[in-house]
Amino acid sequence: METQKSGVGKAVLQFFVIAIGATAGSYLSGWATDRFFGSRRAPVICLLMVLLGVLSLAYDWTVRHSAGGTMLMLVVIGFCIYGPQVLLVGTAPADLAHRGTAAAAAGFVNFLGYMGAATGDVVTGYFSSKEHGGWQTAIYIWAGWAFFGAILTSLLWNTTARRIGVMPGLVPKMGAIATLTLTCGAIHAGNQPLELHLATYFGFASLAAALVNRWFAGMTMLVSAAGVLTVFIGYARAKSGITWNESTAMVAFGLTIVFALMVLVEQKEEPCESLSSPPDAADA
């Protein structure tokens, strides 16, 4: 509104068109995976994420030069956001999950999505202020995450329901240790309470025990959840705006929860049919 000096009605119309792109993306992205990529979901997700990153970088320039171009770009942005979302949340878990775990897989993907939405709001609010770079900085961050998501998805480019690789069990454990280490650094830099330091060390001990028995990862999840709550309460009481170390600590605690959950529900690599595999003679 401020850049284009438009009224509320015109601004609402501009963002309403996102829903038009979202509707088209929700349908056409799934159709494209079946029609052009042999039911491989990753290629379409990857390409749309790359396009989303490019459009994010071009958005600020477009807003300053063309109201019509802005509306058209928002349609395409809506397409690029909701196309991958439908594939990631609904189709891909059903395709790639082992028998009997499709609902758990979809729930896990949704959990990650809400974690991203929660932390994304905090990060956007922090960097969109003039003191920390303004909206241009926030847009660069959005674009960076879109490109990063495309890179991760490209690793699954040739993955199908019949050809699935199981992540080595050591990967999420090392990921949890890395994010807890990041948390320790942020807590130390922010002079957080001693109890939070001790809780983080307890999380490390739980992860070490999880190398022997994965159920100890549940204790790491509880410690990390308590850590997020503690940091947030400290921020709310301060009433002085969230700092970079508080944001980093909450994000790192959240990622630790994700990795610990991956350890907790770890699947051993064994022959197993996916939901999309044809039933065998015994099932028939």
CA–CA dist 83, 29 (Å, integer): 5
Q: What is the 3-class SS of the chain, one letter each residue?
A: CCCCCCCHHHHHHHHHHHHHHHHHHHHHHHHHHHHHCCCCCHHHHHHHHHHHHHHHHHHHHHHHHCHHHHHHHHHHHHHHHHHHHHHHHHHHHHHHCECCCHHHHHHHHHHHHHHHHHHHHHHHHHHHCHHHCCHHHHHHHHHHHHHHHHHHHHCCCCCECCECCCCCCHHHHHHHHHHHHHHHHHHHHCCCCHHHHHHHHHHHHHHHHHCCCHHHHHHHHHHHHHHHHHHHHHHHHHCCCCCHHHHHHHHHHHHHHHHHHHHHCCCCCCCCCECCCCCCCCCC
The predicted pLDDT at position 226 comes to: 82
Model pTM score: 0.62
Rounded-to-10 torsion of CA 176, 177, 182, 184: 120
Where are the domains positioned within the chain?
8-154, 171-264
CA–CA dist 174, 46 (Å, integer): 26
Tens of pLDDT along the chain (284 residues)?
445 455 566 667 767 888 899 999 989 998 998 888 888 888 899 999 999 999 998 888 888 888 888 889 999 999 999 999 988 888 887 777 766 677 777 887 888 788 788 778 878 887 888 887 788 888 888 888 889 888 888 878 877 666 555 556 677 778 788 888 888 888 888 777 777 778 788 888 887 888 788 788 888 888 888 887 777 777 667 666 666 677 777 777 777 877 787 777 665 544 444 444 455 444 44
Are 128 and 138 in contact by the 8 Å Cβ rule? The answer is: yes
Query: What's the mean pLDDT when you consider all of the chain?
Result: 78
181-214 residue pLDDT tens:
888 888 888 777 777 778 788 888 887 888 788 7
CA–CA dist 170, 223 (Å, integer): 21
CATH of domain 8-154: 1.20.1250.20
CB neighbours of 213 closer than 8 A, spacing ≥ 6? none
